[in-house]
Chains A and B, each alone.
Chain A
């Protein structure tokens, strides 16, 4: 299989964050995913992102809440000001609770739809709230690529980092499906992951990786350990977990993450 890049590209991971009810924040997640600590039996309550004004913390949609928590976590770990980073937000579904509300309202009383819920229904709501809260005027994007949304987001973050030669914040998230949509959309739990990638080594860099992109058939994506995979199983962003686990374990890893069913991102990862 021929690589699509002229040669593998080196990128540094200058920040990371993870939030799921049984992986609440990177510090705990790192110990849990590396087997140093068991996952909590009681799921953590939804985070209240500190960048949002207190009145908005409780009212924020689930996607906004977990995406902002992860985004800020990665910036803090990297010691980078949130206002300075272009960002890539990636989610297969966006806010499934709002989708359920919008569609149920369209079927019953469309003229009574809530204006706030409507403007929160856009796929870029989490990215919009993040840039507002972080006072970030750098560009953001909001992507979806089905089950491969994490990989597609990671690839776009790497492309932006390599072409712009700067730090890019990736935030990938999905939540549980609600209502009649649930059996079809199928996503479960809350999960948000964030990475800061750059071709330049940051002061707090955790790892570097050499990225090769190839197209073909028969790719087999890396898998996390079963006990770790189980913690987020069924979430549409769960494909972030093998990379998160590798960062938690440290050392050297060869990973394969898919950006479409037939586009593979091979990463030779070395922890620093």
Chain B
């Protein structure tokens, strides 16, 4: 495909608010995970919770969109000059030439959960939560389109944990076809009861901070994040060289045993970018620290990549931010391309025997020219993004 420029990008997550803080945390090995204090009866686990979301209401003109997810989206837009970069693109191309593709899995469901805890005696939603704007999966997409004053495609991708990686692929196609000249792509997911208790019901939540690829790993730590990128055909910044998408066609909540879908997506991303596995310096792995994902992903990486490729999951810093993970880890990958830092697997002590030499405990520094970011989701939806340094 014709490479695209990433002319602006940003992330806000438990490990840092904005690129500089996030990079500092990655460099210093400081995890953003903390004992879970979310909700009325917090599960015993660790979470990647973004501080200060509760104290940051939306501007009054957007009050119909009030909910944790949209607040996190708004916070995220303010970092790294992203809001201004989108405004500049809007002036350059026109609002009708800038698309918005937002990946999320939780969207605003936290607001719907809250409404159910505060039903009126007649069994209705409380007055302040009767707006449809926060009880539909497109809530955050619609809010962002209004907040950024864009007037092209505005759509929500909700394919669980691959959502916001797929937003990059969808945005790329809009530029390729010429419907848009720029695309705001990204992901926003926030802590809520459904995901904490839901993943717990599947016995996937760890009681300790997650340890990706550790032989003794015990499950995921759930996190929240807002991460965005601005895609354009020209300009300066790192490049998006390719994407690969596939379906496992196996099971709703368990990956294909041989990693069929993951391998297909990896191969397609490389093919679309005209590169081979040997060109890849760093792979940001999906690495949720669930037993199955890490085993299968490690085997796929061991089979497909040379020992020189450095691979790691950064979920020990951020937690698994679900629908935002694709965009957040795309930003981590872009930071790696910029800084030469290839993170290790934070919190992990001894690697699983399924890991090849690619998966590293410790961080390293080097020239990072080409890097991949893996996102694999429930329902067997896989997406891999391929980036190159400026």
Interface residues of A (CB under 8 A from B): 4-6, 83, 92-94, 99, 102-107, 110-111, 113-115, 118-125, 127-129, 131-132, 134-146, 149, 152, 155-156, 159-160, 162-163, 180-181, 183-186, 213, 215-216, 259-260, 262-263
Contact = CB atoms under 8 A, between A and B. Distances in A.
B38 to A, nearest CB: 12
A108 to B, nearest CB: 9
Given A110-B41, A136-B247, A137-B249, 6 more contacts: A99-B112, A122-B160, A124-B158, A125-B252, A137-B260, A141-B166
The 6 closest A-B pairs by CB, nearest first: A128-B379, A123-B158, A139-B245, A215-B96, A118-B198, A106-B193
Contact of A113 (B96, B197, B253): B197
A105 B116 CA distance: 9
Given A120-B252, A122-B105, A260 B145 contact: yes
Interface of B: 39, 41, 43, 95-97, 105, 109, 112-113, 115-117, 119, 123-125, 130-132, 135-138, 141-142, 145, 151-160, 166, 170, 173-174, 176-180, 193-194, 197-202, 245-253, 260-261, 264, 377-381, 383
B193 A184 contact: no
Contacts of B123: 180
B169 to A, nearest CB: 8
A146 B249 contact: no
Contacts of B115: 103, 180-181, 184
B153 A260 contact: yes
Contacts of A132: 248-252, 380
Contacts of A185: 132, 135-136
A131 B249 contact: yes
Q: Which of A114, A142, A216 has the most chain B CB atoms closer than 10 A to its own CB?
A: A142
28 contacts: A93-B137, A102-B194, A105-B197, A110-B197, A111-B41, A111-B43, A115-B201, A115-B253, A118-B202, A122-B158, A123-B158, A124-B158, A124-B379, A124-B381, A128-B252, A128-B379, A131-B380, A137-B261, A139-B381, A140-B381, A142-B379, A142-B381, A143-B156, A159-B179, A213-B179, A216-B96, A262-B151, A263-B152
A93 B136 contact: yes
A121 B151 contact: no
Contacts of A93: 136-137
B261 A103 contact: no
A99 B256 CA distance: 27
A22 to B, nearest CB: 25
Say whether chain B's binding surface is mostly helix, strand, loop, or mixed. Answer: mixed
A160 B173 contact: yes
A128 to B, nearest CB: 3
Contacts, number: 222
Given A132-B252, A140-B159, A186-B132, A181 B153 contact: no
B196 to A, nearest CB: 8
A215 B135 CA distance: 26
Contacts of A104: 116
A92 B138 CA distance: 7
B381 A113 contact: no
Given A5-B179, A119-B253, A163-B176, A140 B247 contact: yes
Contacts of A4: 96-97, 152, 178-180
Given A125-B252, A129-B252, A144 B136 contact: yes
Q: Which of B119, B198, B260 has the most chain A CB atoms closer than 10 A to its own CB?
A: B198
A128 B381 contact: yes
A159 B381 CA distance: 19
Contact of B158 (A83, A103, A135, A144): A144
A219 to B, nearest CB: 12
A134 B193 CA distance: 33
Nearest to A138: B247
Contact of A259 (B153, B178, B245): B153
Nearest to A164: B173
B194 A128 contact: no
A180 B125 contact: yes
Nearest to A103: B116
Contacts of B246: 137-139
Contacts of B158: 94, 122-124, 142-144
B66 to A, nearest CB: 15
Nearest to B159: A124
Given A106-B197, A113-B197, A124 B160 contact: yes
Nearest to A149: B138
B35 to A, nearest CB: 18
Given A121-B198, A122-B378, A146 B136 contact: yes
A160 B113 CA distance: 35
A105 B247 CA distance: 30
Contact of B379 (A122, A160, A260, A262): A122
A121 B249 contact: no
B113 A103 contact: yes
